[in-house]
């Protein structure tokens, strides 16, 4: 298996623009997680899905952030409008059972 796939790997955008991050989980995994990692806050869980249904979105920082999982093989995290403080590395992870497998991350820079 190719592992968790994230795109793009790097994204540079201007403040106010819409940003969409994409994730393809490992086939057969029924949980999908979105995390954000910064130097200041460390690793934060934003939202996670079970069988494509959002279970807990309490970590989503504000209404500018939204996530969808239209099917078992694809999820998006959208930020609209983006702000400089959203600059971070965003990780997607998937699991079946209690082990999570992380993607390589998307490094987002908002100028």
Partner 1 sequence: GDSVTQMEGPVTLSEEAFLTINCTYTATGYPSLFWYVQYPGEGLQLLLKATKADDKGSNKGFEATYRKETTSFHLEKGSVQVSDSAVYFCARYGGSQGNLIFGKGTKLSVKP
The string of DSSP letters for 24-64 reads EPPTT--EEEEEEEETTTEEEEEEEEETTEEEE-TT--STT
Read off the tokens for 30: 């029924």
Residue 17: CB minimum distance to partner 1, A: 25
Q: Does 102 bind partner 1 (CB under 8 A)?
A: yes
Q: Work out which of 22, 57, 68, 101 binds partner 1, going by CB under 8 A.
A: 101
With contacts defined by CB under 8 A, name the span among 13-21, 41-49, 62-70, 74-82 that binds partner 1: 41-49
Residue 83: CB minimum distance to partner 1, A: 24
How many residues are given for the chain? 111
Binding flags for partner 1, 71-100, as an x/- string (CB under 8 A): --------------------x-x-x--xxx
Contact (Cβ atoms closer than 8 angstroms) between residue 26 and residue 8: no
Neighbours of 58 (CB within 10 A): 7
Residue 53: CB minimum distance to partner 1, A: 11
Q: Quick one: which of 91, 77, 87, 106 has its CA closest to 15?
A: 87
- Positions touching partner 1 (CB under 8 A) are 4, 31, 33, 42-43, 45, 48, 50, 55-56, 91, 93, 95, 98-105
């Amino acid at each position: 298996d190719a592992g968790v796939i994230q795109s793009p790997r790097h994204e540079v955008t201007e403040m106010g623009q819409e940003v969409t991050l994409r994730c393809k989980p490992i086939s057969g995994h029924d949980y999908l997680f979105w995390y954000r990692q910064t130097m200041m806050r460390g690793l934060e869980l934003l939202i996670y899905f079970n069988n494509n249904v959002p279970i807990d979105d309490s970590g989503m920082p504000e209404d500018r952030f939204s996530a969808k999982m239209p099917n078992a093989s694809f999820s998006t995290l959208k930020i609209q409008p983006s702000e400089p403080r959203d600059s971070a590395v965003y990780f997607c992870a998937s699991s079946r059972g209690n082990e999570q497998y992380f993607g390589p991350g998307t490094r987002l820079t908002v100028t």
